């Protein structure tokens, strides 16, 4: 699928993946997360916990928000928090302006609210690597600002972010990797 794709990030750096639909941005995120296996080459997280896989040390926020519609917003976040290793769900809900909706079943949330609930996992559980697939889709300007502030704090603390997006997102001086339709690096500063 990929040819000529290589990059390395240092502590506190972000990489933005760009390219047309079908160029492999989401597939590359899934490879990094360990959800897919590369046919060749390697994916490494240096400086992480050597006893854990990359998938166990990352947050992967994909296209789907991965919420159970019958569970409340808080119950969904509690589930993910427990699954990912614990954290403070109340603070995370408030960070994304969802505290007043904590008891509402997730099935009743708007698309933007569901996206914010999915992103609240980032605030609830610390993981060094964030893999974000179109993270700003369905977000209004305030929620986008909340996400960008959270990302800035993560990067300032030495975290890593790889984000695939068609929309602008402020990730500081992020590097960029552009994939063409064949999954080849078409242009990059990575």
Residue 32 lies in a domain: yes
**Tens digits of per-residue pLDDT, 80-94?**
999 988 877 889 999
Q: Give the confidence band of 188 by pLDDT, cuts at 50, 70, 90.
A: low
Residue 153 lies in a domain: yes
Residue 77 lies in a domain: yes
Least confident among 45-49, 96-100, 126-130, 185-189: 185-189
pLDDT, mean over the chain: 91
Least confident among 102-106, 146-150, 159-163, 177-181: 177-181
| Total domains present in the chain | 1
Residue 93: helix, strand or coil by DSSP? Answer: helix
Give the residue-averaged pLDDT of 146-153: 97
Least confident among 31-35, 63-67, 123-127: 63-67
Could you tell me the residue range of the domain that residue 58 belongs to? 14-188
Q: What is the CATH number of the domain that holds 171?
A: 3.40.50.300
Rounded to two decimals, the pTM is: 0.92
DSSP 125-164: S--SEEEEESTTTT--HHHHHHHHHHHHHHHHTT-EEEEE
């Amino acid at each position: 699928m990929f040819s000529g794709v290589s990059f390395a990030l240092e502590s506190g750096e972000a990489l933005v993946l760009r390219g047309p639909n079908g160029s492999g941005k989401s597939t590359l995120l899934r490879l990094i997360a360990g959800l897919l296996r590369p046919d060749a080459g390697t994916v490494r997280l240096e400086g992480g916990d050597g006893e854990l896989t990359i998938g166990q040390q990352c947050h992967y926020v994909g296209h789907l928000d991965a919420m159970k519609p019958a569970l409340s917003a808080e119950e969904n976040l509690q589930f993910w928090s427990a699954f990912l290793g614990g954290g403070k769900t109340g603070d995370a809900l408030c960070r994304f302006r969802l505290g007043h909706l904590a008891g509402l079943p997730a099935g009743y949330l708007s698309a933007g609210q569901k996206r914010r609930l999915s992103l609240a996992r980032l605030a609830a559980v610390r993981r060094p690597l964030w893999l974000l697939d179109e993270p700003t889709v369905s977000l209004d300007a305030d929620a986008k600002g909340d996400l960008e502030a959270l990302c800035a704090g993560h990067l300032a603390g030495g975290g890593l972010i790889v984000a695939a997006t068609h929309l602008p997102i402020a990730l500081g001086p992020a590097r960029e990797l552009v994939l063409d339709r064949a999954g080849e690096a078409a242009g990059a500063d990575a």
